[in-house]
């Protein structure tokens, strides 16, 4: 019999000495109450002693009952654990589950989110979580202070430093990712203000950057989402931060008004920011900010394998210089069109080694593009190409005065091709597609004959199966047609194309997905002419077909730009 059973039997037995003594106390207290009730007199000395004794007895009984309640709750939890299926899961399965519930996006730590929440479930879970280093390898700062807006900057900074040291200590030797984001503070960017109005990020960041020094040798990825470069100025001017493992660097800045950027456009204001110049393993660079900022950073360009300037408008000369310097570059994203700040003549050709490794290239041309951007340029290893000039008054041509992209890129190696708002005829497009033997993804938003495109893609029933035998994903934006002037394409031709590519054939791959954007077309035409045929095709074919009606302003490049400029690690 356990102690709790003995205690319960003692309390429940009317004949026990304890119950007899308790009954005597209650009897005396009742007598005092009966005698004094309704009288305006104080109890006698003996009566007061009886009342005090009864009160003490009641207090003891309350404590005993509270102890018993806690005991019962503890036992109940124990019994419940035996009924829970999760108790039989081995640690390996629990760790896999813990990884699945980790935040999928960069969010600051919260007590109500993983991994901190998992530490509060039980000691077993806490021990497991604290020993899984990859759960602690990514840290996002700063945390929200809306609940403690009256706290001092010093206490806020101390809270961050303490959490950082705790967090990265649990990461052990794991390479670290550190994210610092203050974009939400910009009221023009978000209606949500998770920070107090008087909160200054510099107070917190200065303390964080000092504490970060002790962890910098393990930093692999550094990501900054900012709305004011002044927040990081002192950090960027430092040159004593060891970064032996730093592989990826991201800067995303809010669009600032012109005067706020003047200090960063003039080289006479301050020296270059050299903090990353000696990072021996820095390979990936993603800068999305106002023009001029990237020139302040001293970077090891000769070691870069990925350079993303998709939202930073640069001139043709700078684009070509970057290609010449970044000899190891395999992926580049560029926005070309800004007038040159100097009048340096372009070299007629680039050394073949300059672009020999480039396999993935995304180019957007603004309204100020120049015709000599591809002058003498060859891309022998290119496998993915995206070109667009959605905002240009004159569209960039596939074949121009001093270039012919069909002859300057490795068309036969292309696996991905995206063309949006450029000048290319239907015949020129077919000439390109006829030689893309490995193309698996094709996206086009062009002023071309869509019926001819679908006919070009139809596979005959007998070999040879003509073009694009490896095509898996097809995205097409159908141009708008003025009201009363017919259809953007003939539905039956589209259905024939899909049907021909859904039948297994030797040496060809089955089409997996077709995405159609119909610009400015009435819903009635989609429902009456397309939907019934698509419904029938999806019942007999595994090809996924998605049709979306969009307005006249829709541009496929806007989606491609988001994909191209996002972080890739």
Tens digit of each residue's pLDDT (9 = 90 or more) over 5-16: 544 555 555 555
Q: Evaluate whether residue 138 is within a structural domain.
A: no
Q: Report the helix count and the strand count for the chain, using DSSP H and E.
A: 17, 14
Q: What tens digit of pLDDT does each residue of 141-150 get?
A: 888 655 455 5
Q: Evaluate whether residue 27 is within a structural domain.
A: yes
Q: Structure pTM?
A: 0.78
Cα 528 from Cα 523, distance rounded (Å): 9
Could you tell me the two tokens for 283? 């390979």
Q: What tens digit of pLDDT does each residue of 30-62 get?
A: 888 887 887 888 888 888 888 888 888 889 999
What pLDDT was estimated at residue 27? 81
Q: Evaluate whether residue 134 is within a structural domain.
A: no
What pLDDT was estimated at residue 293? 75
Q: Is 326 helix (H, G, I), strand (E, B) or coil?
A: coil
Triad 285, 286, 289: Cα angle to 5°: 135
Q: Does residue 453 contact residue 426 with C-beta atoms inside 8 Å?
A: yes
- pLDDT confidence tier of residue 253, bands split at 50, 70 and 90: confident
273: DSSP letter: B
What crossing angle do the helices spanning 91-100 and 123-130 adopt, rounded to 10°?
70
Q: Evaluate whether residue 372 is within a structural domain.
A: no
Per-residue H/E/C for 280-310: CCCCEEEEECCCCHHHHECCCHHHCCEEEEE
| Domain termination site, one of 83, 111, 131 | 83
Mean pLDDT, the chain, as a whole number? 83
Q: What tens digit of pLDDT does each residue of 256-281 get?
A: 433 333 334 444 456 778 888 878 99
Residue 47's domain comprises 3-83
Q: Evaluate whether residue 536 is within a structural domain.
A: yes
Prior bond to 142 cis, omega within 30? yes
Q: Does residue 185 contact residue 195 with C-beta atoms inside 8 Å?
A: yes
Q: How many CB atoms lie within 10 A of CB 443?
A: 21
Alpha helices in 111-151 (DSSP H): 123-130
Task: Tell which phi-psi region holds residue 484, choosing left (phi > 0), alpha (psi between -120 and 50) or beta.
Answer: left
| Domain termination site, one of 48, 83, 118 | 83
HSE value, Cβ hemisphere, 13 Å, CA-based, for 74: 7
Q: Evaluate whether residue 7 is within a structural domain.
A: yes
Whole-Å CA distances, 161 to 205, 259, 567:
10, 34, 26
Triad 299, 300, 304: Cα angle to 5°: 105
Cα 11 from Cα 166, distance rounded (Å): 49
Number of compact structural domains in the chain: 2
Q: Evaluate whether residue 186 is within a structural domain.
A: no
Q: Does residue 305 contact residue 325 with C-beta atoms inside 8 Å?
A: no
Q: Evaluate whether residue 288 is within a structural domain.
A: no
Q: Which of 67-81, 472-486, 503-517 has the lowest mean pLDDT?
A: 472-486
Q: What tens digit of pLDDT does each residue of 319-372 get?
A: 988 998 898 999 999 999 876 655 455 555 555 556 889 999 999 998 777 788
443 has which bridge partners?
A: 418, 475
Q: What is the CATH number of the domain that holds 463?
A: 3.40.50
Could you tell me the two tokens for 292? 């001029």
**Strand spans (E) along 405-472:** 416-420, 441-445
| Domain termination site, one of 83, 101, 117 | 83
């Amino acid at each position: 019999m356990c102690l709790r059973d003995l205690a319960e039997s003692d309390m429940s037995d009317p004949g026990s000495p304890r119950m007899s003594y308790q009954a005597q106390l209650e009897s005396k207290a009742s007598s005092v109450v009966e005698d004094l009730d309704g009288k305006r007199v104080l109890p006698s000395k003996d009566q007061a002693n009886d009342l005090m004794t009864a009160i003490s007895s009641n207090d003891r009984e309350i404590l005993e009952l509270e102890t018993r309640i806690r005991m019962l709750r503890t036992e109940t939890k124990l019994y419940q654990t035996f009924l829970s299926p999760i108790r039989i899961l081995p640690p390996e399965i629990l760790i896999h589950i813990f990884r699945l519930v980790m935040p999928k996006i960069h969010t600051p730590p919260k007590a109500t989110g993983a991994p901190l929440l998992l530490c509060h479930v039980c000691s077993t879970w806490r021990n497991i979580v604290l020993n899984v280093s990859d759960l602690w390898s990514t840290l996002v700062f700063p945390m929200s202070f809306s609940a403690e807006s009256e706290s001092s900057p010093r206490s806020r900074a101390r809270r961050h430093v303490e959490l950082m040291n705790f967090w990265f200590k649990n990461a052990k030797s794991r390479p670290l990712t550190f994210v610092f984001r203050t974009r939400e503070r910009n009221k023009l960017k978000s209606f949500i203000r998770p920070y107090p109005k008087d909160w200054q990020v510099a107070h917190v960041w200065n303390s964080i950057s000092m504490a970060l020094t002790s962890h910098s040798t393990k930093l692999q990825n550094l990501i900054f989402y900012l709305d004011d470069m002044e927040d990081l100025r002192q950090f960027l001017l430092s040159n004593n931060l060891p970064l032996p493992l730093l592989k990826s660097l991201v800067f995303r800045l809010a669009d600032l008004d012109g005067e706020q950027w003047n200090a960063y456009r003039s080289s006479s204001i301050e020296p270059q920011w050299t903090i990353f110049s000696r990072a021996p393993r820095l390979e990936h660079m993603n800068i999305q900010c106002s023009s001029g900022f990237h020139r302040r950073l001293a970077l090891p360009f000769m070691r870069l394998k990925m350079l993303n300037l998709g939202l930073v408008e640069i001139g043709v000369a700078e684009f070509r210089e970057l290609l010449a310097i970044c000899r190891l570059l395999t992926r580049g994203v560029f926005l070309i069109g800004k007038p040159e700040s100097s009048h340096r003549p372009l070299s007629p050709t680039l050394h073949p080694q300059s672009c020999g490794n480039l396999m993935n290239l995304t180019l957007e041309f603004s309204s100020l593009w120049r015709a000599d951007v591809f002058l003498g340029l060859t891309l022998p290893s290119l496998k993915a190409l995206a070109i667009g000039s959605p905002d240009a008054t004159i569209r960039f041509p596939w074949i121009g005065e001093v270039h012919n992209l069909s002859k300057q890129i490795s068309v036969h190696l292309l696996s991905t091709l995206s063309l949006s708002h450029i000048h290319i005829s239907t015949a020129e497009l077919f000439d390109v597609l006829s030689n893309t033997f490995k193309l698996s993804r094709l996206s086009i938003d062009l002023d071309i004959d869509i019926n001819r495109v679908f006919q070009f893609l139809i596979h005959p029933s007998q070999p040879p199966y003509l073009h694009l035998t490896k095509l898996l994903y097809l995205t097409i934006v159908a141009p708008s047609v003025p009201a009363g002037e017919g259809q953007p394409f003939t539905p039956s031709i589209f259905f024939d194309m899909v049907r021909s590519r859904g039948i297994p054939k030797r040496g060809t791959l089955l089409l997996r997905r077709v995405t159609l954007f119909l610009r400015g077309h009435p819903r009635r035409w989609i429902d009456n002419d397309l939907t019934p045929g698509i419904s029938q095709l999806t019942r007999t074919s595994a090809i996924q077909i998605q049709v979306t009606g969009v307005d006249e302003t829709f541009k496929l490049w806007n989606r491609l730009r988001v994909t191209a400029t996002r972080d890739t690690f």
